[in-house]
Homo-oligomer: A and B are copies of this chain.
Amino acid sequence: MTSPDLAAHIERGLTDLRDLVKMESVSAQGRSLPETAAAVRALLEAEGFAVREYPGHVAPVLVAEAGPEDAEFTLLIYNHYDVQPEDPLELWDSPPFALTERDGRLYGRGASDDKGEFVSRLAGLRLARERAGGPLPLRVKWLVEGEEEVGSPSLDAFVREHAAELKADGVWWEFGSVTPEGRPVLYAGLKGIVCVELRCRVADSDLHSSNGAVVDNPLWRLASAVASLRDEGGTVLIPGFHDDVRPPSDADLAAVTALSGGGETLRDTYAVTRPLGTPAEYHHRLNLKPVVNVNGFHGGYGGAGSKTVLPAEGMVKLDFRLVPDQDPARVVTLLRAHLDAQGFGDIEIVELETHQFPGRSDLEAPFVKTAVAVAREVYGQEPLLNPSSGGSGPIHPFMAYVGAPVVALGIGNVGGRVHAPNENILRRDFGRGVEYAAALMTALAGQD
């Protein structure tokens, strides 16, 4: 049973989401970023937040504050208003920048990652205040950036420089998800990431492929370089890559072991035909294994039929997902040394913006325990607590400079197609997210 006040707050949140999804805030392409920042600022100011706007590399950073300065607990919420590119456009069943409801799901770029999270929490704050009959004895700070999908290039320095302004007792991370059965999934850490492009060129013009007997092929060279990066099980083979991996704590290992399921949902939702690892290894790999991904590989002819061409050049895009205490810059150095040692000294490495340290919170911290307990109560099921997400984000500055534990819980779902066509959330999860936000803030205010 949804109480009447909750239903109204959910609808108001969805109206906010509809307005934000319309804004094409693709940070990789520098689209609509100041406009979207202004819309987010207006939403926060309407709830009494004092909002400061700072310049970022490609998009403004917003810092908002509300609530008594002498509150016993300060919650820092981190969200982002930028989104991934919408391509390939032809695979969307409805326009990416128009929130569209079908069969209990709301589709649109950013519906889940991360506009949906943001508005659900704002709706939860409104609900908590209404239920409390006024302001909560809780200080809420909100950091909303617009560069998360390009690796948050401004955030590390920003959080370091604004550490006092951002001081908090706990950080509520931007995402999180709910299983199809309605179990909340929490994360107490994030993998790091570093993105690079590999480029190879053998001539100043494409050649007739008869010359393949006497001129090397840039796509074969890139393919061989890519093949050398990992084994068939997905373990990275770059010498030194694993040297800085911190062994998981006993609590980390216990948490991973307690997680159920082994990729069945992923398999059923996306028709995945080639899982890596066994079902028993699933959560250990997602939480704790560093990996390399080929995000794109392009060169030569890609049209209909054949073209007997020896391409002049080609390029590959990679991301590395890292675990504590791997260092993104050191991984690039190791990659360079590996390519050189493999005979690929001619392959150029171009570092892309995305570059983040990994981080994992202490699972025994009180804020982590409260977040889990409230989730158990609101969702009515035992939460699934992950030491780390398989995904990445700029967790490092919060752990290093704010010094607070970080927890992620949100409104995503395993069929949410985040970063892909038909990104979506369940209406059920949005509503539950509003309720959770209200309950968590109430609990942190000491009023539950």
Contact = CB atoms under 8 A, between A and B. Distances in A.
Interface of A: 28-29, 84-85, 87-88, 91, 150-151, 191, 193, 195, 201-217, 219-224, 226-230, 232, 234, 263, 266, 270-277, 282, 285-286, 289, 291-312, 314-317, 319, 321, 343, 346, 352-354, 389-392, 417-422
Copies assembled: 2
A380 to B, nearest CB: 27
B303 A420 contact: no
Nearest to A202: B274
A241 B312 CA distance: 27
A288 to B, nearest CB: 9
Contacts of A298: 297-300, 302
**Which residue of A191, A300, A303, A419 has the most chain B CB atoms within 10 A of its CB atom?**
A419
A420 B319 contact: no
7 smallest A-B Cβ distances: which pairs? Answer: A296-B300, A210-B390, A210-B391, A219-B294, A223-B226, A195-B306, A212-B293
A420 B309 contact: yes
A305 B87 CA distance: 14
A206 B273 contact: no
A422 to B, nearest CB: 7
**Which residue of A211, A234, A317 has the most chain B CB atoms within 10 A of its CB atom?**
A211
Contacts of A232: 224, 343
Contacts of A220: 226-227, 229-230, 294
A308 B389 CA distance: 15
B293 A319 contact: no
